[in-house]
């Protein structure tokens, strides 16, 4: 596996070693020892699977008091995945990192606890799987506005007139009004 830090060094792109032949392919998507060697110490307690159509934007979600680290990959289609640093003590507080994940590139992205997470589907559809380091907690879930001018996320909206949002995501808080981590 190859581990490449993004512009926020704690958010890491993971490129697997893919073994391909005429039958198909094989790759490891999680190897605790290899992740430990690069300083990613994660214990996963919940796996999630989501399918969304083109132009769907989910997020930016996070949980206060029960932050989740996430290891995310796309198994069908393509999406642009975003992490926003919400750790007030971090030198990258309020900054974002984004990466295109697809079934074709087979990459994953590690987003540590303390970050908001969101994505937009840039292919016809996307099916994503992600492993979480803490359980979902409805009472602790929060949402940031996807289009907050202070975040200035460069969402790839080419060919997408208006992102498809849930009511919850459309009503997200701005960074300056959000609950964040100490």
Could you give the residue numbers annotated as active site? 61, 130
Query: In the chain, what is the greatest distance between 2 CA atoms, to the nearest angstrom?
Result: 53
């Amino acid at each position: 596996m190859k581990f490449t830090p993004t512009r926020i060094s704690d958010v890491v792109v993971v490129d697997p070693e893919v073994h391909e032949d005429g039958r198909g392919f094989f790759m490891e998507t999680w190897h605790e020892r290899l992740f430990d060697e690069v300083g990613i110490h994660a214990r996963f307690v919940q796996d999630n699977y989501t399918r969304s159509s083109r132009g769907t934007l989910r997020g930016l979600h996070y949980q206060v008091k029960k932050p989740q680290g996430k290891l995310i990959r796309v198994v069908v289609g393509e999406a642009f995945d975003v992490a926003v640093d919400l750790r007030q003590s971090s030198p990258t507080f309020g900054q974002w990192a984004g990466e295109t994940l697809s079934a074709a590139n087979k990459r994953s992205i590690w987003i540590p606890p303390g970050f908001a997470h969101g994505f937009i589907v840039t292919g016809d559809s996307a099916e994503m799987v992600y492993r979480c380091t803490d359980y979902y907690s409805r009472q602790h879930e929060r949402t940031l506005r996807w289009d907050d001018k202070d975040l200035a996320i460069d969402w790839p909206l080419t060919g997408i007139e208006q992102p498809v949002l849930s009511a919850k995501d459309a009503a997200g808080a701005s960074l300056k009004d959000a609950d964040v981590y100490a």
